[in-house]
Amino acid sequence: MVKSGILTVIVTFLFPNVFAQQNTLDSLKMKLSGLTPGAEQAKVLYLIAKETAESDPDSALYYLDHSKLMIDSLGIDSLQGALYVIYSTAHSYKADYDVSIPMAFKALEYGEQFANDIDIYDAYTNLGIDFLYQEDYARSKEYFDKAREVAVRIASDYRLAHVLNNLGLIAGYQDSLDLELQYYNQALKLFEKIDDKEGIGNALLNIGTCYTYQEQYDKADQLYDQALVIFEKINYKSAYGHTLESMAENYNLSGNHEKALAVLGEALQIFIENDNKQDQVYCYELLQDIHQQQGNYRAAYLYQTKYQEAYELIYNEEKAELSERLHLKYETAKKEAEITKLELLHQRQEQEISEARLQVWMMVGSLVFVCIIAGVSIVLIKKKQKADQLAQRSQMEALQKRYIELLNGPTKLDLSINLETFNKRLVTPLTEREYETLQYSLQGMTNQQIADKIFVSLSTIKFHLGNVYHKLGVSNKKEAIEYVVKSS
Strand ranges in 25-132 using DSSP code E only, listed in sequence order = none
Rounded CA separation 157/447 (Å): 34
Sign of torsion over alpha carbons 341, 342, 345, 351:
negative
Answer whether residue 139 shows pLDDT above 90. Answer: yes
Please write the tens of the pLDDT for every residue from 180-196: 999 999 999 999 999 99
| 482 or 342, which is more confident | 482
Q: 322-329, long-range: CB within 8 Å, 24+ apart, which pairs?
A: 322/406, 323/403, 323/406, 323/407, 326/399, 326/402, 326/403, 326/406, 327/403, 329/399
Report pLDDT for 114.
94
Answer whether residue 69 shows pLDDT above 60. Answer: yes
Residue 174 to residues 5, 168, 268, 272: CA-CA distances in angstroms? 17, 10, 30, 34
Report pLDDT for 412.
36
Please write the tens of the pLDDT for every residue from 370-398: 667 766 677 777 777 776 666 545 544 44
Report pLDDT for 402.
44
Please write the tens of the pLDDT for every residue from 418-445: 778 778 888 889 898 988 898 888 887 8
16 sits in the region (left: phi over 0; alpha: psi -120 to 50; else beta) called beta
Contact 442, 481 (CB under 8 A): yes
Neighbouring C-beta atoms of residue 389, cutoff 10 Å: 14
| 442 or 202, which is more confident | 202
Tell me the DSSP string of 241-270.
HHHHHHHHHHHHHTT-HHHHHHHHHHHHHH
| 168 or 360, which is more confident | 168
How much is the mean pLDDT over the chain?
82
Report pLDDT for 54.
83
Rounded CA separation 451/465 (Å): 12
Residue 286 to residues 173, 290, 295, 306, 393: CA-CA distances in angstroms? 22, 6, 14, 12, 50
Three-class secondary structure of residue 302 per DSSP: helix
Report pLDDT for 311.
83
pLDDT band at 333 (very low <50, low <70, confident <90, very high): low
Which range has the worst mean pLDDT, 105-109, 274-278, 348-352?
Answer: 348-352
Task: Indicate the DSSP class of residue 457.
Answer: -
Rounded CA separation 350/18 (Å): 57
Contact 192, 200 (CB under 8 A): yes
Answer whether residue 322 shows pLDDT above 70. Answer: no
Q: How far apart are the first and last CA of the chain?
A: 30
Sign of torsion over alpha carbons 247, 250, 256, 260:
positive
Answer whether residue 400 shows pLDDT above 50. Answer: no
Single pTM value for the model: 0.60
Q: Which whole number is the average pLDDT over 149-166?
A: 95
Report pLDDT for 395.
47
Give backbone dihedrals phi and psi of 244, rounded to 5 degrees, phi first: -65, -40
Q: Which whole number is the average pLDDT over 94-106?
A: 93
